[in-house]
Amino acid sequence: MYQAHFGFEQLPFTLTPNTEFFYGLAPHFEAIQMVISALEMGEGVIKVTGEVGTGKTMVCRMLVNHLQNSTALIYLPNPMLSGADLRQAVAKELGIVVESEATLVDNIQHRLIELNRAGLRVVAILDEAQALSDEVLETLRLFGNLETEDKKLLQMVLLGQPELDVRLEEYHLRQFRQRITFSSTLRPLTLDETVAYIDNRIVKSGGNPELFSLNQKKAISRSSLGIPRLINQLCHKALLLSFSENKQHIENQHLYSAMHETYDVCKPKFKTPILWGWN
């Protein structure tokens, strides 16, 4: 692989979210701060949505890292659950031995009250929430009814694709929708943010940010539409192509080929070595 060739200590553009690469760009930082602030205010249900590849999983992992030492955290990454599965998963995360489904909700409530009296906030984070069934959303709504006179016993953070917003507009989900007090939407990165994103990943990997020229970074921003996952794919493929030719920098032809080998990106109309009129 090209890691040693370009002097990287680790691969800079892997698709697996790595919190070591988190840079705190506005879309992600604002979403994280919104969630943390809403939780501190005691809000019951909080929602973060974003298109595929905009960084929801990175936001989720940063939230988990931030909250795990200060809250009783329930992390539910698997959306393919039934209502019963969800209750059992919550019970397991709370350290409850499941003996009877009939008494499970009461046992969960008693455990939540114990944690509340101990001064611990309980937060459930549900990733890929657009895939949650209506049954599970109704179960979550009922969990939202568990409260003391002045605070919720269980706070919930939903992270999902825009399909979650569409589903929540359905009439039969209006009760759950009305419980969502704060929402944030992850937008794509701007040109300046894309350049900073690329440079940050290269520098944190021990490489030289000048591997890509400024014009090439502009082309990546335009082609990827500012979607971090697509930025990663374009940079990774361009580095791989450059390495295969034993080059020390990225040439426009490498980036051009990467763009034409990647799904869901804009393709430059001009042939190599010109990208959208930039030499």
CATH 1.10.8 domain locations along the chain: 1-16+189-279
Average pLDDT for residues 192-217, to the nearest whole number? 96
CA distances (Å), origin 230, targets 93, 176, 266, 272:
34, 33, 10, 20
Three-state SS string over 159-212 comes to EECCHHHHHHCCHHHHHHHCCEEEEEEECCCCHHHHHHHHHHHHHHCCCCHHHC
Which CATH number describes the domain made up of 1-16+189-279?
1.10.8
- The yes-or-no verdict on residue 142 having pLDDT over 80 is yes
CA distance 34 to 186: 12
Rg (C-alpha) for the chain, rounded Å, is: 22
pLDDT in tens, 53-109: 999 999 999 999 999 888 999 999 999 999 999 999 999 999 998 877 878 999 999
Per DSSP, the three-state class of 141 is helix
pLDDT of residue 274: 67
Average pLDDT for residues 15-44, to the nearest whole number? 94
Instruction: Assess if CATH 3.40.50.300 describes domain 26-186.
Output: yes
Q: Which residues pair with 157 in a beta bridge?
A: 46, 125
Selection from 56, 153, 82, 151 nearest residue 113 by Cα: 153
Non-local CB neighbours of 238 within 8 Å, separated by 6+ positions: 212, 216, 250, 254, 255, 257, 258
- The yes-or-no verdict on residue 198 having pLDDT over 60 is yes
CA distance 123 to 14: 29
DSSP 267: P
pLDDT of residue 278: 60
pLDDT in tens, 171-190: 999 999 999 999 999 999 99
- The yes-or-no verdict on residue 39 having pLDDT over 60 is yes
CATH 3.40.50.300 domain locations along the chain: 26-186
How many other C-beta atoms can be found within 10 angstroms of the C-beta atom of residue 38? 20
Asked whether 39 and 90 are in contact (CB, 8 A), the reply is no
